[in-house]
Chains A and B, each alone.
Chain A
Amino acid sequence: MKMPDPDQTIIEAKSDIVAALRVIVPGEGVIVDEDELRVYESDGLTAYKQLPLIVVLPETTEQVSRILKCCQERGVKVVPRGAGTSLSGGALPLADGIILGLGKFNRVMDIDFDNRCAVVQPGVTNLGITKAVESEGFYYAPDPSSQIACTIGGNVAENSGGVHCLKYGLTTNNLLGLEMVLMDGTVLRIGGKHLDSEGYDLLGLMTGSEGLLGVVTEVTVRLLKKPETARALLLGFETAEQAGDTVAAIIAAGIIPGGMEMMDRPAIHAAEDFVHAGYPLNVDALLIVELDGPQAEVDYLIKEVSGIAEQHGAVTSRISENEEERLSFWAGRKAAFPAVGRISPDYYCMDGTIPRAQLPLVLRRMREMSEKYGLRVANVFHAGDGNLHPLILYDANKPGELEAAEDFGSDILKLCVEVGGVLTGEHGVGVEKRDLMGAMFSEIDLKQQQRVKCAFDPEALLNPGKVFPQLHRCAELGRMHISGGKMPFPDLPRF
């Protein structure tokens, strides 16, 4: 993966930049020591590593504003970072750039139960929000599996999902407001405790913009009351087709489960060997369907779903009768990644989304690719919303295997696009899928997106090298070649 060529003049000016940053953030907030920088050399996509030039850890919005302005004036690139759990290399440092760490922005500012929202700083963890409000029975709905570590600021940057987003939405559907800082130091407030921001929906644009448009310094999130109860079904099928048909039939019956997860045979076996969740080993596909809400509704719907599964040939069907049993159904799914980690020295987690009906075809093609590349693959799948997480098993110590795993992954993502899906459902493009963007978007599509970037960061100093395969200068993107002056289709009727 090629990153933009480091600017030697910036690297040579390091001590000047450090001095300028220390004026803004006194004390230990500016990190230059190589051992301490090492902590920041990678994020959740550990195959890529790069020492940053400097790390800055501001504590106030004013400091963030001054840092960005200072960097803009000096032409220094900035990579924002929350907890560094990105799976797509969104927080991968640059040799000639600073890491702007938001870890010290870790306070819950305001909890407003009357308006069912909370105002938090971006360094608060996803789970930290729920912890702050659960005493009153509330929670923050999006629940990415890294929720214990990942921060809400990172969630905004990546538009994170989770297993419950079919029913409760992604980050973008659960935000009310933001405070953010542009690269030139301008502080902006978008939205608030009211719904739908005035003017252009910059809140929606910022969510999932992968740290390329601005640095978020405060987030207002919606809170929901915890559902009265939740129960799960564990369903086993002899074929993935049957499991897929069951998912379609549940939705066709008008039921939107809180969560609906599928695992294929290799994932079932890895998980069962690891946590002994009691999963059936004689099936090709396992579905976990969770229904949550009022007790009366859950009790009613669980029977409906059970009936649908039976009609579609479920060979295993268990309904959780208590909380302990429900959690045991989930135990294997939640441990699927580490479980796969046990059976292989390394694994590479993919994140495409497909129209659900394409699942049997995609699984079949994936098995063919697995043979071609000589690498095993295990699948966990957010079946409700079509988001696939194939885990490609490889050994980085064997020459060529990492490259083969990456090529295999690229082929899977291209297949997702080919069947009507997308490159990434929730992990982001980052550096990882940057060079695949052309499989989904035309040059015109990508240039239009980059013109949006130009409105926020005309010098392209914020997180460059991520998302876009090719960097264009804003002046070039703004140019318009006007030809014509010819009246359009003069033979059409006008009114």
Chain B
Amino acid sequence: MESSFAVENSDQLVEAVTWAAAEQQPLEVIGRGSKRALGRPVQAGHSLDLSRLTGITLYEPEELVLSARAGTSLAEIEAAVAEKNQMLAFEPVDLSPLLGGAAGGGSIGGVLACNLSGPRRIKAGAARDHFLGVESASGRGEIFKSGGRVVKNVTGYDLCKLLCGSYGTLAVMTDVTLKVLPRPQKTYTVLVLGLDDATAVKAMSRALGSPHEVSGAAHLPAGLAAGSAVSYVAEAGGAVTAIRLEGPGPSVEYRCAALRRELADLGDTEELHSRNSLALWQELRDVRPLWVQEDKGPERAVWRISVAPSEGPEVVAAIGQGEAFYDWGGGLVWLALSAEGDAGAGRIRDVLRPGGGHATLIRAPLEVRAAEPVFHPQDPAMAALSARVKDGFDPCRVLNPGRMYAGL
């Protein structure tokens, strides 16, 4: 029978992990539980609940730094920084609605454990790029720290990077320190209308290769654009390519006008201003185009595919099924297709040549996630190295075993 250790402090955490290691009892590590359906199912008789490890422990806006206990809700942190006109610039994705929960359910530890970054990834970097310091418990039941509270730090290995995106398989984070950045004064979006996928990527490439400091570049094919809550997008009557510009008013106005001129030969252009603009990018961030029109019929599987931006449309065409939209200038493909059989896994993995990118099955029924690799399969040498890294942190393999790869 499953039981849960709801730890309230680091001592209790150490006690729980030490026990698990001694008894060879695997633990499922849970922040606030919003992403439990992401990853391979963990075979564990016990869970480690970190939702009581909460609170912002340090926030110095002029120093651009914030520390919090790992179980603190992301919503609480975003509200605190918004009050000081700042933000988490990597734009953490809220996967809760996609995974069937209420919006705003995740913890900061969960965001970092999954390295979840939104549309601004292309300009501001990923979650891992904003992760300055960490304190965590290894699978050995030892509390260790890495990094610090300053941006420039090369003292020792950067274990923050290693823990970010490790899905709780290496260590249980208790305290994290992040870089925060000022919120832009204005957010405008240039829309280019009616482009096919390949031309859209060309348009985005032109924008990203300009000096206009583009902070988001996404493309919604006609069917998905129609579902937007932003009327300008929904009523465009075709595909919509969106390019985001952020900064002080005069700068954004100038760049918006310049970009519209530079893209005019590809299609008609429009512009969205602050409120509509913010709404559109939140939709894109949270993958809303793929779940909003999903009220009837069986739930589809959703894939997140990272490729070289110019290859996005070819990859989608080669997969040849489902419904897709593009972020990161074409480099991030969100794809929904039937969850029957292997949910398209075989086909998608075949299309991605070695070294050409990776695909993660973000949403699928439990049976599919148990049977198919959720994360992109690794070549044997990389898999062996990953296993040795895991052993260095969690030799008894009690932390989220199998969450990322079978046996890891």
A residues neighboring B (CB under 8 Å): 112-116, 137-138, 158-159, 161, 165-166, 169-170, 172-173, 177, 182, 186-190, 192-205, 207-209, 225-228, 248-249, 251-256, 293-297, 299-301, 353-357, 382, 385-387, 420-429, 433, 437, 440-442, 444-446, 448-449, 451-456, 467, 478, 480, 482-489, 492-495
Contact = CB atoms under 8 A, between A and B. Distances in A.
Given A204-B161, A294-B255, A451-B392, A114 B247 contact: no
A253 B183 CA distance: 10
A421 B250 CA distance: 37
Instruction: Tell me whether chain A's interface is mostly helix, strand or loop, or mixed.
Output: loop
Interface of B: 3-8, 12, 15-16, 18-19, 21-23, 49, 60-65, 85, 115, 117, 121-122, 125-126, 128-129, 138, 140, 142-146, 148-162, 164-166, 170, 181-185, 205, 208-213, 247-248, 250-251, 253-255, 306-310, 328, 331-332, 355-358, 360, 375-376, 378, 381-382, 385-386, 388-389, 391-393, 395-396, 404-405
B266 to A, nearest CB: 15
Contacts of B205: 114-116
Contact of A251 (B3, B64, B355, B391): B64
Contacts of A177: 355
Nearest to A450: B392
Given A199-B375, A452-B159, A485-B23, A445 B150 contact: no
A325 B165 CA distance: 46
Instruction: Tell me whether chain B's interface is mostly helix, strand or loop, or mixed.
Output: mixed
A425 B392 contact: no
Closest 9 CB pairs of A and B: A204-B161, A297-B251, A254-B182, A451-B392, A198-B358, A193-B308, A455-B388, A296-B254, A425-B152
B169 to A, nearest CB: 9
A460 B326 CA distance: 44
Contacts of A353: 148, 150-153
Contacts of B16: 488-489
Nearest to A384: B151
A194 B356 contact: yes
Q: Which of A113, A159, A355 has the most CB of B within 10 A?
A: A355
Contacts of A301: 248
A255 B185 CA distance: 10
A140 to B, nearest CB: 15
B211 A137 contact: yes
Contacts of A382: 152
A310 to B, nearest CB: 19
Contacts of A467: 156
B253 to A, nearest CB: 8
Contacts of B247: 293-294, 297
Contacts of B396: 480
Contacts, number: 310
A478 B391 contact: yes
Contact of A159 (B154, B209, B212, B360): B154
Given A254-B85, A300-B250, A492-B8, 6 more contacts: A116-B208, A186-B381, A195-B122, A385-B152, A455-B392, A480-B21
Contacts of A487: 19
Contacts of B8: 492
Nearest to B201: A114
Given A386-B152, A424-B154, A300 B308 contact: no
A194 B393 contact: no
Nearest to B312: A194
A494 B155 CA distance: 40
Contacts of B21: 480, 482
Nearest to A301: B248
Contacts of A421: 148, 150
Contact of A256 (B158, B165, B181, B376): B181
10 contacts: A115-B205, A190-B382, A192-B356, A198-B375, A198-B376, A444-B144, A446-B156, A448-B142, A480-B140, A488-B12
B152 A300 contact: no
Contacts of A166: 151
B19 A488 contact: yes
A196 B157 CA distance: 19
B150 A425 contact: yes
A195 B161 contact: no
B157 A209 contact: yes
Contacts of B162: 200-202, 204-205, 452
Nearest to B306: A194
Contacts of A137: 211
Contacts of A196: 115, 117, 121, 126, 128, 165, 306
A172 B158 contact: yes
Contact of B211 (A113, A227, A253, A495): A227
Contacts of A482: 18, 21-22
Contacts of A489: 5, 12, 15-16
B161 A201 contact: yes
B129 A437 contact: no
